[in-house]
Structure 1
């Protein structure tokens, strides 16, 4: 019988902190997600021009900052940290700054919360981003019994993370059923696969468990679909709907 890795983590995971209810990937979002009872979170991390890991989904600042445009990777953290990453969402969050990974780590550890950290490299910087992020995670969560799960759509980033901090758990993100992804996840030493929820069914979940991998899905906001996934024994559900799903 295949032995699955230990999985002491909450099943419900708040997407980018609090889904769409607060400006994504900010500390304000994490606080709001926590106010709804969530103790597991997902967010995106990339590198500034001076290699400071910080939270941002896109390569550019255009969508989620009100006072800057262009590639975030071209700016040092000192400049990025002064930008408004909340006003685009609503007036209530105007002035909310971008979050450094260090600030997020401090908040999570003090609140005893767990993180699925998606390595979201700027195009062309995949492997190096994985190495630097993993090195920082190992430092920031040193001595923590439940450090983050490092996930990515980019195998190069996971390889870099593995080489820099082999003791940290990794997961391959999968959006489409492309040939060989399960074999690649195993080659990368992943402990889990996180798939688009539309790919997941009982047969795929069984394949993953038989291969020794945990099975998680994103981004589930429909109660009927959530019930289907819970019924087949899914290990984790990433959701925007933190106000509708009780994270039991």
Structure 2
């Protein structure tokens, strides 16, 4: 028998059981599990962990987001691993595929064949259509051949057999030296240590344990990975954990102000949705400069113009101009509206309306508003009638009435009142009646 590895026991011991046979050993190499090897050396920058890849720039937990993170300077890719119905480990954060694919259902209820057919990119943007949910094997192979390390989160409860499948994938791809396993689930970490004590372990926590050092020692942790809020409540825990040889990596932090505070607190790494920005911040920090905070985003509504007076025949396109923003949210009178949408003035009441744009980015938040009015005009009233959905004869009659001039506004309003909820949708009937009465009042002077 030839072997390239001998499994360790749960306490780190190594043995080869031969049941009385004669055994010879040749060229045997034993690598010690060095404590404290994950602490950030003095003068070194924060380790960049790309949260689900470059998840602010591409569909999370895909090989595309991994590639963007790698090019942006991330040393580590952070992922989430869960099994399919037939036991294949996949890279997916949620319990279901609903949010990040075009499919429906719990990942544990879907086979690998079903998962392989899903589109995991279109939800983020049309350019990513056809992106697939990667298997752990595919991600490991991509990292092995293209470069990078993996902070592998075992997501949710896993049986020993499910953890064993994950360990097998890591070993089969010769990635044991480039994978760090973390989880919120203590049992998953215990299974990992039993099956592969060569893999470093990190415990994820929202709030800190009463004694993080004791927990770290009991589980054999190389890192204790708390939330930013949890650590902010007890920053002195960093020193205690470091004294025990345990690294501290904080999740999920996207603010330059917090990066600065965490670096000063001595943490070892940061899990972030903005790996390229953190890598850039690190570069400035290494040069002795105070990294400039990201510029505040700007946003302006370009259409319709503030103060515009519109009638029903106009369909202005809602348009904004933004800089330094990752997301722009547009609302009309409090209702969501996609940029580039033509505003349907035939559905708006007469009077003032407010278009509001909110932009968010690394540098904060910006807001812009534009108020416009919808006014009654003969052309606009005609547009209301023509698009009312009333039967053809009624529309023809009303059009003739409009052509006869202002004396027909009152009977037209009365007709709309009578038809509301019958031959005409109630909302449209109210708008026609309101516009007709407004025009009648204007004509009277």
How do residues 107-126 of structure 1 correspond to structure 2 at under 5 angstroms?
A: 107-121=142-156, 125-126=158-159
Equivalent residue in structure 2 for 1:132, among 135, 159, 165:
165
Q: Note the C-alpha offset of 1:90.
A: 1.0
Structure 2 counterpart SS, 1:151: strand
Q: Does 1:32 align with 2:68?
A: yes
Q: Which has the larger radius of gyration?
A: 2
Equivalent residue in structure 2 for 1:189, among 216, 220, 223:
220
Deviations 1:13-36 (A, max 9, x none): 111010221111000100111221
- Maintained 8 Å contact 1:138/1:165: no
- TM-score between both structures, scaled by the size of structure 2: 0.51
Partner of 1:97: 132
Higher relative contact order (CA 8 A, sep 6+): 1
Q: Note the C-alpha offset of 1:44.
A: 0.5
Partner of 1:203: 236
Equivalent residue in structure 2 for 1:148, among 162, 172, 179:
179
Partner of 1:17: 53
Mean Cα deviation higher: 39-48 or 193-202: 193-202
- Maintained 8 Å contact 1:191/1:213: yes
Q: Does 1:63 align with 2:92?
A: no
Tell me, which stretches of 5 or more residues in structure 2 are unaligned?
Answer: 1-33, 41-45, 283-445
- Maintained 8 Å contact 1:13/1:239: yes
Mean Cα deviation higher: 129-138 or 103-112: 129-138
Q: For residues 55 and 213 of structure 2, what CA distance do their matches in structure 1 show?
A: 28
Q: Note the C-alpha offset of 1:8.
A: 8.4
How do residues 158-177 of structure 1 correspond to structure 2 at under 5 angstroms?
A: 158-177=189-208
Deviations 1:156-211 (A, max 9, x none): 11111112112111110011124455433321211111110122254110111122
- Maintained 8 Å contact 2:209/2:215: no
Change (3 A) 1:28 1:69: same
Q: Does 1:240 align with 2:276?
A: no
Equivalent residue in structure 1 for 2:247, among 191, 214, 233:
214
Q: For residues 190 and 72 of structure 1, what CA distance do their matches in structure 2 show?
A: 29
Deviations 1:55-88 (A, max 9, x none): 000111111111x111111122122111011111
- Maintained 8 Å contact 1:23/1:89: yes
- TM-score between both structures, scaled by the size of structure 1: 0.89
Q: Note the C-alpha offset of 1:5.
A: 2.1
- Maintained 8 Å contact 1:130/1:159: no
Q: For residues 196 and 166 of structure 1, what CA distance do their matches in structure 2 show?
A: 25
- Maintained 8 Å contact 1:138/1:168: no
Change (3 A) 1:4 1:200: farther
Q: For residues 229 and 8 of structure 1, what CA distance do their matches in structure 2 show?
A: 14
Q: Note the C-alpha offset of 1:139.
A: 2.4
- Maintained 8 Å contact 1:87/1:95: yes
Change (3 A) 1:153 1:134: same
